[in-house]
Structure 1
Amino acid sequence: MYRFLLTPRWWGINVFVLLAIPFCVFMGSWQLGRFEDRVQDHRDAGEQASAAKTQAARPLAELLPVDKKTSGDQATATGRYGKQLLVPDRELDDERGFYVLTMLRTDGGKALPVVRGWLPGTADTAKAPAAPSGEVTVTGALQASETPGSNGVPAAGGLPAGQTGAISSASLVNLVPYEMYDAWITLADADPGMKAVPAAAPSDTGLDLKAFQNLGYTGEWFVFAGFVVFMWFRLLRREVESARDAELGITQDTPAEAVKAPSAS
């Protein structure tokens, strides 16, 4: 009855099943591993942020370029404040406001964007305190350049003069007359009259949509593996029933009720 398993058709079906199931299990396990990696990155980022608050500040040059390990570390830089810009539509403690961003021109000739603090309400240059004059040394959390449209950074353009939507060298290159560092810092202690802006976790280290997509893909691959097994058993059962019917002389055109048992001789 099971001789049909040796036919070329069933050889093809069996080979497909034997290849598809391990592949689905492998892909599901890989997606699960990606999700677990993101969970671990999320934990590491939280621990790193807590540790960074108690770390001694290091010179900016020692922490560049910014990566997942150095993002959030306390950095220190010395220079003179230059051009000041406002960063609108930023929330702090569930309240809408804006950042006061001032360029710190260092001895190396480059300018470092420094978020000196946050103020509530609509961005207005009249509200923003002027930057201290003379040489200053600043200390704050090092941050990677922002990407418009991600992590709450507005992607809208057409802002008034003196404002920028994102804090990044690419966004600032046409707004300030200096060469920029591909990084910025947020002061640990905001200047008088403003609130300090907490450091943000580095990108791709949180339980974001991508992480839960990995978890969803994990379930899909395991469901596919189960579906392949289900369909194989279904095809096998149908083939066995067809073989049994053929032995009884039942065809698609002959109802089972019409087949009479052979008379005893």
Structure 2
Amino acid sequence: MYRFLLTPRWLGYLALTLVAAALMVFLGNWQLDRYRGRTAINERIDAGSTMAPAPLRDALPAPNGGPGSTGPAPAERLTWTRVTATGRYDTANVVLVRGRTVDNEVGFEVLTPLVLADGSAVLVDRGWIPPAPGGSATTQPQVPAAPSGDVTVTGRVVSSESGGGAVDRREGKLETRRISVPRIARQLPYPVAGGYVLLDQQTPAADPAFQAVPIGHTNNWQNFGYVVQWWLFAGMSLVGYGWVARREARRMAGLDTPRTPVDRAAEPAAPTSA
């Protein structure tokens, strides 16, 4: 009854079905890896909110190059680790990162290099501030002065952002669109750590004009939904092949012969009662 499945045409259908199902399983497995990776990020973010801060060098190795060079990037397992460091802010090289949105308002994140005792520096994201009143979204804000003297910061280790574009100096401040640590480091007169610190706390206290940059969790459940979707599609393709093959077998066996339509008009009319 099912010998037709061994014909070249049906073997071709089977091969296409198996290839499609295998591709969908592969895509599901890829999304599963994405789900696990994003889940690990969320777990590190949650752990960082309660952990005691570790020394900066536990997560960000010291750079060993000359001025303008960048140290090693933080290991993935150490991103979002809470760290602490003490140094002096270099107020001559404030970096404004434009086009950053907080609470649906576009403004600037303010990075200031914290120069450490060994002569290297780490970029500290001190927070978000809106553009200057009455200006556009790209109008430079009034940046609160950084504390002078020794400053102790506590914050999260964040990896350098990809992309970036140019880092320009305008009105005495560096400006960029993305926090690309290597690009920013080229404009600075000392070696810079390979990641940056998103400020949580500071001693002396940070200026209240700064708004904390929120840390968003990744949408890992979206990836999990894609896993289920692709695996369901794989199963449906196999079930669909089986259903079509069964229908063809029944047709060839004459089990699904269409019924002759009944001509209702030719049937005698039922007698009506008086």
The alpha-carbon distance between structure 1 residues 176 and 24, as it changes in their structure 2 partners (threshold 3 A), is closer
TM-score (norm. length: structure 2): 0.65
Q: Does 1:111 align with 2:121?
A: yes
Residue 30 of structure 1: CA displacement? 2.7
Letter in 2 for 1:50: S
User: Who is 1:58 aligned against?
Assistant: 54
1:169 to 167, 172, 181: 181
Q: Does 1:197 align with 2:209?
A: no
How far apart are the structure 2 equivalents of 1:13 and 1:112?
A: 61
Number of residue pairs matched? Answer: 232
C-alpha RMSD of the superposition:
3.9
Gaps of 5+ in 1: 149-154, 246-255, 257-265
Q: Does 1:137 align with 2:136?
A: no
Residue 60 of structure 1: CA displacement? 0.8
Q: Deviations over 1:113-139 (max 9, x none)?
A: 112233222466671123333333322
Q: 2:127·2:211 contact (CA, 8 Å) conserved in 1?
A: yes
Deviates more, 1:162-171 or 1:20-29: 20-29
1:88 to 58, 81, 98: 98
Letter in 2 for 1:60: L
Q: Deviations over 1:167-223 (max 9, x none)?
A: 23223033323222111113223622432524635xxx7116xx6356336424422
How far apart are the structure 2 equivalents of 1:39 and 1:80?
A: 35
Identity of aligned residues (%): 24
The alpha-carbon distance between structure 1 residues 79 and 213, as it changes in their structure 2 partners (threshold 3 A), is closer
Q: 2:2·2:249 contact (CA, 8 Å) conserved in 1?
A: no
How far apart are the structure 1 equivalents of 2:55 and 2:74?
A: 13
The alpha-carbon distance between structure 1 residues 179 and 118, as it changes in their structure 2 partners (threshold 3 A), is same
How far apart are the structure 1 equivalents of 2:141 and 2:32?
A: 51
Gaps of 5+ in 2: 61-72, 133-137, 261-274
User: Who is 1:188 aligned against?
Assistant: 200
User: Who is 1:248 aligned against?
Assistant: none
Q: Deviations over 1:222-265 (max 9, x none)?
A: 224323332333234324433549xxxxxxxxxx9xxxxxxxxx
How far apart are the structure 2 equivalents of 1:233 and 1:126?
A: 66
Q: Deviations over 1:145-168 (max 9, x none)?
A: 1234xxxxxx67586622122223
How far apart are the structure 1 equivalents of 2:167 and 2:179?
A: 15
User: Who is 2:225 aligned against?
Assistant: 215
Letter in 1 for 2:181: S
Q: 1:35·1:215 contact (CA, 8 Å) conserved in 2?
A: no
